Chain A
Amino acid sequence: MSTLTEAPPPLAPEAPEPKPPKRRGRLTPYWLLLPGILWLLVFFALPMIYQASTSVQTGSLEEGYKVTWHFATYWDALSAYWPQFVRSVLYAGTATILCLLLGYPLAYLIAFRAGRWRNLILILVIAPFFTSFLIRTLAWKTILADGGPLVGALDTLHVLDVTNWLGWTAGDRVLATPLAVVCGLTYNFLPFMILPLYTSLERIDGRLHEAAGDLYAKPSTTFRKVTFPLSMPGVVSGTLLTFIPAAGDYVNADLLGSTDTRMVGNVIQTQFLRVLDYPTAAALSFILMAAILLMVTLYIRRSGTEDLV
């Protein structure tokens, strides 16, 4: 950085006039925005329009597709694949709740209890990101392997009996069951819960805790009335950052699940890349997008945090 700051200012513009011309100043933000916004418009917004148009086309790969306003595709896609939609919401929802339950103590620990270990623990939370998530997800195949130590222990403790009864596992297997998929989803998106939680917990003024204690609040009351409400922005953005990618994920369901655990992401992927049924795939993707946007909007409005960006 020092070389940059010490270097002589190259070609400084003309000495500033007392009042810079207003028009130039007014256009500056637009010039700054132009390249990036153009990129997003062409490669993010425009594709959404193309996708919407593809979803109402009919035709075949050989003869090409035409827009025929064939809305029946949506109905067909929904009636054929509603179980996968339900599963996506169910798995992603469960994973989000698990992430909150698991992530909150760790975020709390880093924010208030870690002392000089704080930075180290933070690094350990982020560091797994640098090993490809596919490799880490494959590691769960080893951890949850049939007859492995973990599954054996769950079996001995009769945990598997309970999960079998709930329909989360089958027999003495964990791999290729909903439990394995939810476990993978929870694992993969946990840091996205911990980091926003930590950020909002860390902002809390420690004196508020002392004040609550001085007013004879028990630690649990302090948590319920002071800490948790103040961490709500973190809870909201954490749950969104976990739920959204989990609902669209197909990697965990593919690597750790079976054909009975396919989520909507798997269907979109297969329809697009294997079956090459573009209208159905586009319709499914459009429904997923609409559902998520609707949920996000309602959720943000209910929880009252408008400024997430």
Chain B
Amino acid sequence: MPFVNWLKRKLVVIAGLLTLGYLLLPNVIVTVFSFNKPKGRFNYAWQRFSLDAWKDPCGVSDLCGSLSVSLQIAVWATLGATLLGTLIAFALVRYRFRARGAVNSLIFLPMAMPEVVMAASLLTLFLNMGAQLGFWTILIAHIMFCLSFVVTAVKARVMSMDPKLEEAARDLYAGPFQTFVRVTLPIAAPGIAAGALLAFALSFDDFIITNFNAGSTVTFPMFVWGSAQRGTPVQINVIGTAMFVVAVLFVLTSMVVGNRRNRQKA
């Protein structure tokens, strides 16, 4: 039975590719339906091909406004979380200090907490303080939950760093600041970049925590959520498809550039 044998050998590959298909199927649907011309208010059933939505991506009121709110929040949250998280990561890897266990659990807990719990408790804090819900409360919340992920990403990179490189720099009479800027930071950069990228993606796509603490401010995920009740414009699919394509192109280019650089070094 050669076929059965072949199947046995390829079982893992087939199962893995099926899972990959399951993961990518919704993206295919999102893309295909960005060319749809739906009959009613909802874009769930295929009617006929049309480029209308691609020609006019901002044609739905408030859609591009919410997109810009989301981008602004994501940029600021990324900057804040990356800065604070990198400092913590360096402290954790490079120094011995008291309360290390407490610090570690304070960083682990936000990642082990269901979002809805953090969302609800943060809202009680804001309500008790009488804070005005909006852009700033969203930003505060986003920096909070992105922080731990940045710490983990940067920590992993700094931990795998050879301390001898910094010793060498010091032996060559580099001051602590010089050593940090010219040796430590460039080596840690990929970890910091990974943390920042993760923070951006998490912040941009967050719905649950934002929904609780946004007041009347509408981010892009909140716009999509609202449209699921009122009627889904095709433009949502256009934005989703564009984001997917841009992200894949971005990663592919950075990979090609990275490969070329490595080859030049070798």
Contact = CB atoms under 8 A, between A and B. Distances in A.
Given A28-B95, A123-B251, A268-B120, A43 B144 contact: yes
Given A9-B182, A39-B144, A248-B115, A132 B45 contact: no
B12 interface: yes
B189 interface: yes
A35 to B, nearest CB: 5
A273 interface: yes
Contacts of B244: 127-128, 130-131
A103 B20 CA distance: 9
A90 interface: no
Nearest to B242: A131
Contacts of B127: 278
Contact of B205 (A46, A48, A132): A132
B27 interface: yes
Interface string B217-247: 0001100110010001000110111011011
Given A44-B106, A127-B244, A131-B244, A102 B19 contact: yes
Given A5-B182, A28-B95, A272-B123, A187 B26 contact: yes
B114 A129 contact: no
B33 A16 contact: no
B54 interface: no
B186 interface: yes
A15 B87 CA distance: 24
B252 A136 contact: no
Contact of B144 (A28, A40, A54): A40
B84 A39 contact: yes
Nearest to A54: B124
A132 to B, nearest CB: 6
A289 B113 CA distance: 7
A282 interface: yes
Contacts of A137: 26
B58 interface: no
A30 B128 CA distance: 30
Nearest to A186: B22
Given A130-B247, A289-B114, 11 more contacts: A4-B186, A13-B175, A36-B88, A50-B121, A121-B20, A132-B221, A138-B44, A139-B30, A139-B33, A265-B116, A269-B116
7 contacts: A1-B186, A35-B84, A130-B244, A138-B44, A248-B117, A288-B114, A293-B112
